[in-house]
C-alpha cells in the first residue's frame, strides 16, 4: 500500500511539472515565482507584529495615538445647529442630507424661529415605487437588446436600491410633496431596508422578464403599458405593507425651536406642505459640483439613467477643482446656508472620535509597504468613490481665509462621532470629498456659465457614480 501511494505521488508530481510550466507561460504562479514570493515575505516578517495582528484589529494597531482625541472643535464659520437624525440600517443618507438642507432653509427663512421635521418614510415610499417604474420601463425600452447587453444588465443587476442623490430628492419632493414626520413616522422596514430590497428586486426581475417576452411576442404598446401598470400595483401593495400607505392629507401646526405650537392648525396635502415649507421648486436653484481629476475641469457631465424617476432629471454635474468647490462652500456657510455633500467616508475614519484625517491610521508602517495612489488613480481602479452623503455645516478658516478643517452633520445618530457630527481636516477633504450641491446665488459667474453647457453623457457604470448610501 505504501508503494502504491509513493508511485501515485510521484505520478502526480510528474504530471504537475508540465502544468506549472504551462501556468508560467499563462501568467500563473510557478515554483520559481513562489520561491521568490516567500523570500520577499520572509524578509518582511516580524514575529511580534504577526502575533499582535493575529489577536487584534488592524485599525487598533494602526491607529495614530496623536489623533486619538479631537482637541480643537472650534469653527470660525458655523451654521445653526439642528436635531441629529439616524438612518439606521438603511442607505438613505441622501434623503437625510437633503432634508437637513431643506429644513435648515425653512428655519432660516423664518429667522430660525420655526422648525419642521420631514417624514423620510413618506418620500421613501414614492422613491421605491418610482425606481420600480424606472427599472420596468428601462427594460421595455431596451427589450430589443440581448439579455447580456450592458444596458439590459444594468437594470437587472440592481433593479432597485435605497441609495440616491440630492437630484432625486428634489424630483420626488416636487412630484409628491412632503409631510411632517409626525403624520408618517418610520416603520421597522424603513429603518432596515435590506430584506425589502431583496424581495422587491426578485419581483422586479421576474416582471422584467415577462415584459421582455411581451415585446418579443409583438404585443401592443398599450397592452405592455397596462401590464406594467398591473405590476406596479403589486409593488405598491408590497410597499404599503412594510412602509404604510402614503398619507393623502393631514392637519398640522408649526412649532418653534422649543417645541411650542405657534401657528393655527391647518389642513394640507403633501404638495401644499411642500409649497408652504420650501416656497417653490428646488430644481433650477442649484448646481451639482463634482471633483473628478480624471476628467476635464469646467465641463458639464450627465450620467445616463442616473435618476430616481423615469420622467425626472439625470444626475448632471460640473467638474471642478477642489479649490473652487471649497470657495463655494465657504461662501454658502458664511451666509448660514448648509450644503448637501458626499464623501468616501470609510477612508481613515475614527468612528469613536468622529474625526477624519489622512494620518488617523498608519497602515503603511504596520504592513511595511506603501499605499501611494492619488485621487484619480483611486477612482479609476474602484479604490475610492462617493459612498456617503452628509450635510456640510461649518468651516474653520485661517487668517488668510483658507480652510483648515470642516464639519458635517451626519445621519448616524446623536451618539456617533462628535455628538452626531464629523470633523475633517482640509487635507482629507481634498482627497475624499466628491459632490457638493450649491445654491446658484453662491456660484461664481464663470462656473455658472460653464454649468449651462450641453452636458457630455457618461455611463452609470463609472466607479464614481455609485449612489450615496
Residue 20 counted as domain residue: no
* Other beta carbons less than 10 A from residue 235's beta carbon: 21
Residue 10 counted as domain residue: no
> Which of 93, 142, 167, 316 does the annotation list as catalytic?
93
Q: Is it the case that residue 257 has pLDDT exceeding 90?
A: no
The answer to which of 96-100, 283-287, 460-464 has the lowest mean pLDDT is 460-464
- Name the residue with higher pLDDT: 346 or 46: 346
pTM for the model stands at 0.92
Residue 158 counted as domain residue: yes
Contact 238, 142 (CB under 8 A): no
Determine the pLDDT at residue 299: 98
Residue 6 counted as domain residue: no
Determine the pLDDT at residue 25: 62
Q: Report the share of the chain in percent with pLDDT over 70.
A: 95
Determine the pLDDT at residue 22: 53
Q: Is it the case that residue 376 has pLDDT exceeding 80?
A: yes
The number of distinct structural domains making up the chain is 1
Residue 5 counted as domain residue: no
Contact 208, 144 (CB under 8 A): no
Determine the pLDDT at residue 5: 46
What is the DSSP pairing of strand 300-303 with strand 77-78?
unpaired
Q: Encode pLDDT of 298-329 as tens digits.
A: 999 999 999 999 999 999 999 999 999 999 99
> Which of 167, 388, 426, 430 does the annotation list as catalytic?
388
**CATH number for 82:** 3.90.70.10
Q: Encode pLDDT of 102-121 as tens digits.
A: 999 999 999 989 999 999 99
Cell representation of residue 317: 454635474
User: Average pLDDT over the chain, rounded to whole?
Assistant: 93
Please name the residue that has the C-alpha cell 464614481.
464
Residue 397 counted as domain residue: yes
Burial category of 286 from C-beta neighbours within 10 Å (exposed 0-12, middle 13-18, buried 19 and up) = buried
> Which of 67, 410, 426, 430 does the annotation list as catalytic?
410
Mean pLDDT of 28-50: 89
Q: Give the C-alpha distances (Å, rounded to integers) separating 212 from 156, 175, 208, 209, 219.
A: 12, 29, 6, 5, 10
Give CA–CA dist 292/184, Å, rounded.
Answer: 39
- The boundaries of the domain holding residue 368 are 77-465
- Residue 389: what are its φ and ψ, rounded to 5°? -90, 140
Nearest to 278 by CA among 102, 116, 442: 102
Mean pLDDT of 147-175: 96
Exposure string of 99-122, with b = 16+ CB inside 10 Å and e = fewer, is: bbbbbbbbbeeeeeebbbebbbbb
Determine the pLDDT at residue 344: 97
Determine the pLDDT at residue 466: 82
Query: Is residue 388 annotated as a catalytic residue, yes or no?
Result: yes
Contact 139, 155 (CB under 8 A): yes
Residue 96 counted as domain residue: yes
Q: Report the share of the chain in percent with pLDDT over 90.
A: 86
Q: Encode pLDDT of 386-415 as tens digits.
A: 999 999 999 999 999 999 999 999 999 999
Q: Encode pLDDT of 91-103 as tens digits.
A: 999 999 999 999 9
Query: Is residue 142 annotated as a catalytic residue, yes or no?
Result: no
Determine the pLDDT at residue 15: 47
Give CA–CA dist 352/69, Å, rounded.
Answer: 9
- Name the residue with higher pLDDT: 438 or 3: 438
Determine the pLDDT at residue 49: 86
* pLDDT band, very low/low/confident/very high, at 45 (cuts 50, 70, 90): confident
Determine the pLDDT at residue 405: 98
Q: At what angle do helices 150-157 and 194-216 cross, to 10 degrees?
A: 140
Give CA–CA dist 393/336, Å, rounded.
Answer: 8
* Other beta carbons less than 10 A from residue 323's beta carbon: 11
Give CA–CA dist 436/342, Å, rounded.
Answer: 7
Determine the pLDDT at residue 65: 85
* Other beta carbons less than 10 A from residue 446's beta carbon: 10
Residue 199 counted as domain residue: yes
Sheet strands (E) in 19-78: 77-78
Q: Is it the case that residue 463 has pLDDT exceeding 90?
A: no
Mean pLDDT of 195-209: 98
Query: Is residue 74 annotated as a catalytic residue, yes or no?
Result: no
Determine the pLDDT at residue 121: 98
Q: Is it the case that residue 47 has pLDDT exceeding 90?
A: no
* pLDDT band, very low/low/confident/very high, at 55 (cuts 50, 70, 90): very high
Amino acid at each position: 500500500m505504501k508503494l502504491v501511494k509513493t508511485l501515485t505521488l510521484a505520478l502526480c508530481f510528474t504530471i504537475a511539472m508540465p502544468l506549472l510550466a504551462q501556468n508560467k507561460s499563462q501568467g500563473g504562479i510557478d515554483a520559481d515565482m513562489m520561491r521568490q514570493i516567500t523570500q520577499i515575505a520572509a524578509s518582511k516578517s516580524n514575529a511580534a507584529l504577526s502575533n499582535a495582528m493575529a489577536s487584534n484589529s488592524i485599525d487598533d494597531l494602526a491607529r495614530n495615538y496623536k489623533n486619538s482625541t479631537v482637541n480643537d472643535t472650534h469653527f470660525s464659520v458655523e451654521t445653526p445647529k439642528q436635531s441629529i437624525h439616524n438612518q439606521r440600517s438603511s442607505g438613505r443618507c441622501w434623503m437625510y442630507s437633503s432634508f437637513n438642507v431643506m429644513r435648515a432653509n425653512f428655519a432660516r427663512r423664518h429667522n430660525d424661529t420655526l422648525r419642521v421635521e420631514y417624514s423620510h418614510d413618506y418620500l421613501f415610499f414614492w422613491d421605491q415605487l418610482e425606481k420600480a417604474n424606472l427599472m420596468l420601463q428601462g427594460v421595455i425600452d431596451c427589450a430589443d437588446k440581448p439579455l447580456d447587453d450592458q444596458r439590459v444588465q444594468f437594470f437587472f443587476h440592481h433593479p432597485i436600491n435605497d441609495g440616491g442623490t440630492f437630484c432625486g430628492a428634489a424630483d420626488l419632493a416636487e412630484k409628491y410633496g412632503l409631510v411632517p414626520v409626525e403624520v408618517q413616522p418610520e416603520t421597522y422596514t424603513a429603518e432596515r431596508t435590506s430584506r425589502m430590497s431583496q424581495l422587491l428586486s426578485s419581483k422586479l426581475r421576474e416582471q422584467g422578464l415577462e415584459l421582455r417576452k411581451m415585446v418579443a411576442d409583438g404585443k401592443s404598446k398599450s397592452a405592455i403599458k397596462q401590464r406594467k401598470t398591473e405590476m406596479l400595483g403589486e409593488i405598491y401593495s408590497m410597499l404599503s405593507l412594510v412602509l404604510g400607505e402614503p398619507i393623502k392629507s393631514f392637519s398640522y401646526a408649526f412649532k418653534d425651536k422649543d417645541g411650542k405650537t405657534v401657528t393655527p392648525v391647518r389642513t394640507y396635502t403633501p404638495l401644499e406642505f411642500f409649497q408652504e415649507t420650501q416656497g417653490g421648486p428646488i430644481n433650477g436653484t442649484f448646481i451639482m459640483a463634482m471633483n473628478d481629476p480624471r476628467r476635464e475641469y469646467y465641463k458639464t457631465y450627465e450620467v445616463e439613467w442616473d435618476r430616481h424617476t423615469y420622467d425626472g432629471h439625470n444626475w448632471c454635474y460640473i467638474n471642478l477643482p477642489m479649490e473652487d468647490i471649497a470657495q463655494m462652500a465657504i461662501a454658502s456657510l458664511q451666509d448660514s446656508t448648509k450644503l448637501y455633500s458626499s464623501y468616501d467616508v470609510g477612508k481613515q475614519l475614527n468612528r469613536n472620535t468622529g474625526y477624519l484625517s489622512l494620518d488617523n491610521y498608519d497602515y503603511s508602517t504596520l504592513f511595511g509597504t506603501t499605499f501611494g495612489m492619488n485621487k484619480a488613480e483611486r477612482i479609476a481602479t474602484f479604490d475610492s468613490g462617493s459612498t456617503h452623503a452628509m450635510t456640510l455645516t461649518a468651516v474653520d478658516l485661517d487668517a488668510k481665509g483658507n480652510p483648515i478643517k470642516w464639519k458635517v452633520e451626519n445621519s448616524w445618530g446623536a451618539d456617533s462621532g462628535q455628538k452626531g457630527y464629523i470633523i475633517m481636516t482640509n487635507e482629507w477633504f481634498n482627497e475624499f470629498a466628491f459632490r457638493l450641491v450649491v445654491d446658484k446665488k453662491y456660484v461664481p459667474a464663470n462656473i455658472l456659465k460653464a454649468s449651462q453647457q450641453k452636458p457630455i453623457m457618461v455611463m452609470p457604470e463609472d466607479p464614481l457614480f455609485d449612489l450615496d448610501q
